[in-house]
Amino acid sequence: MSDDEFHVHGPHDHELEHAGHGGGHESQGMTSQIAMFTAIIATVGAIFGYMGGATQANAGLYKNNAAISKTEASNQWNYYQAKSSKQNLSELAKEIAPAKKDFYDEEIKRYKTEKSDIKKNAEALESKSKEWDEKSDEEMHQHHRWAQATTALQISIALAAIALLTRRKWLQKGMMGMGALGLVLGALAALHI
């Protein structure tokens, strides 16, 4: 442009010109603080996201183990029922064929012993299934904590971007508050609370 032309500066042009002449030290400080805060929160958020994924995977694995134990317990109860049926048939046969009473008494005794062992095994498998279910529930609770922490940190990062664009102090405070909330939720997840 020549010197004799008229030119109107917009607010954006004025800020750029002011920053180019060494002005805006306060806004440079705010920008640096928000950038550093955002980098740290993003890093912590990535760790929280990984932990959330790990706990969700563990919950699924534990739920699968619970289902396997429950199936094994069901198989044992079916086996128990088969032994009970054989015991009942032996008791019936003992009444029908009294000449083989001693043989059927031994069979009945054997089935009772076998059923006792099978019952203990089935109950142990049911207990194991319940333990896996409880572990899965604990992992899902922890997963939800990690997810809450990650979400709070993501909101904090979004507020940081808006604070940078608008230069509003209250948004910077909101960004810090959400970041702190995310860190607290992450601590609760790490402590299994």
pLDDT at 183: 94
pLDDT of 32:
86
166 pLDDT higher than 50: yes
From CA 91, how far away is CA 101, in angstroms rounded? 9
pLDDT of 178 reads: 94
Over residues 154-166, the mean pLDDT reads 91
Q: Average pLDDT in the 157-161 region?
A: 92
**Could you state, in order of their start, the residue ranges of all structural domains in the chain?**
36-190
24-28, 74-78, 125-129, 149-153, range with the lowest pLDDT: 24-28
Backbone phi and psi for residue 10, each to the nearest 5 degrees, phi listed first: -85, 170
Nearest to 48 by CA among 169, 189, 177: 189
pLDDT digits (tens, 9 = 90+) for 105-125: 999 999 999 999 999 999 999
132 contacts 61 by C-beta, under 8 angstroms: no
Residue with tokens 């405070």: 173
User: Rounded to an integer, what distance in angstroms lies between the CA atom of residue 189 and that of residue 184?
Assistant: 9
Work out the mean pLDDT of the chain and round it to a whole number. 87
pLDDT exceeds 50 at position 132: yes
pLDDT at position 9? 54
Pair 59, 140: CB distance under 8 Å: yes
Q: What is the pLDDT of residues 66-105, one digit of tens each?
A: 999 999 999 999 999 999 999 999 999 988 988 898 999 9
CA neighbor of 15 nearest in space, from 165, 162, 160, 161: 165
Read off φ and ψ for residue 165, nearest 5 degrees.
-75, -40
Percent of the residues in the chain that have a pLDDT greater than 90, as a whole number = 70
In this predicted structure, the answer to whether residue 165 has a pLDDT above a threshold of 90 is no
User: How would residue 12 be classed by pLDDT, with cut points 50, 70 and 90?
Assistant: very low
Residue 30 pLDDT grade (very low, low, confident, very high; cuts 50, 70, 90): confident
